[in-house]
Amino acid sequence: MSSAAGLAASVKILVAGGFGVGKTTMVSSISEVAPLRTEELVTEVSAGIDDLSGVEGKTTTTVALDFGRLTIDDNLVLYLFGTPGQDRFWFLWDELALGALGAVVLADTRRLENCFAAIDYFERRGLSFTVAVNCFAGAPVYTPDEVRDALDLQLDQPVVLCDARDRASCRTVLTTLLEHLIYRSSAGVA
């Protein structure tokens, strides 16, 4: 977190998760400035590699990052960085994670296993995160406790349900993450 007298503290947050889970959608929904997107057409290189089930209409994919900004109050501004979802862009994650204070890991219950890599990455780096289940229509519905169990997460690990298209819902996800960051810092964990 960076701050100076009279200036709001700025905090960098990553929005991560598997391919097509709604990362770009979430950053775009919540950003108060025109979001930066770096989307390109999904090419045939994707065929047989990226699982498009449930998002068959998806024609573009993030190739570098998404960027957005959200002012929480006079004292705190969040800078949101959405990661690319395709495995071939993993090499960008270390750059994107530099200086980040926390992360949202988006999950889709139809392809829950796709968020394992992001969870593993943040656990290894000791970066606090919140799992947010993006509730796509028709996807199996599970409680946060069931998702936490399925992902084998600690009991104090926040898991919330959300709709990445809805600004208020995304704001709740980020508030949950901020509360978790404060809890971890007061507990001396991070």
Residues in contact with ligand GTP by the rule CB under 6 A = 19-25, 55, 57-58, 61-62, 84-85, 134, 136-137, 163-165
| Contact residues for Mg ion, defined by CB under 5 A | 23-24, 62
**52 contact, one of Mg ion, ligand GTP, none, CB 5-8 Å limit per kind:** none
Nearer to Mg ion, 81 or 129 (CB): 81
The interface partner of residue 165, options being ligand GTP, Mg ion, none and the CB cut-off 5 to 8 Å by kind, is ligand GTP
CA 94 to CA 91: how far, in whole Å? 7
Q: Min. distance of Cβ 5 from ligand GTP in angstroms?
A: 37
Which does residue 137 bind out of ligand GTP, Mg ion, none, counting CB within 5 to 8 angstroms by kind? ligand GTP
Cα separation, 41 vs 5, in Å, equals 44
Report the distance separating Cα 190 and Cα 183, nearest Å.
9
- Dig out the tokens for 65 from the structure: 């990052």
> Least distance to Mg ion from the beta carbon of 59, Å?
12
Cβ-based nearer residue to ligand GTP, 133 or 178: 133
Smaller CB separation from ligand GTP, 57 or 126: 57
Pick between residue 55 and residue 72 the one whose CB is nearest to ligand GTP. Answer: 55
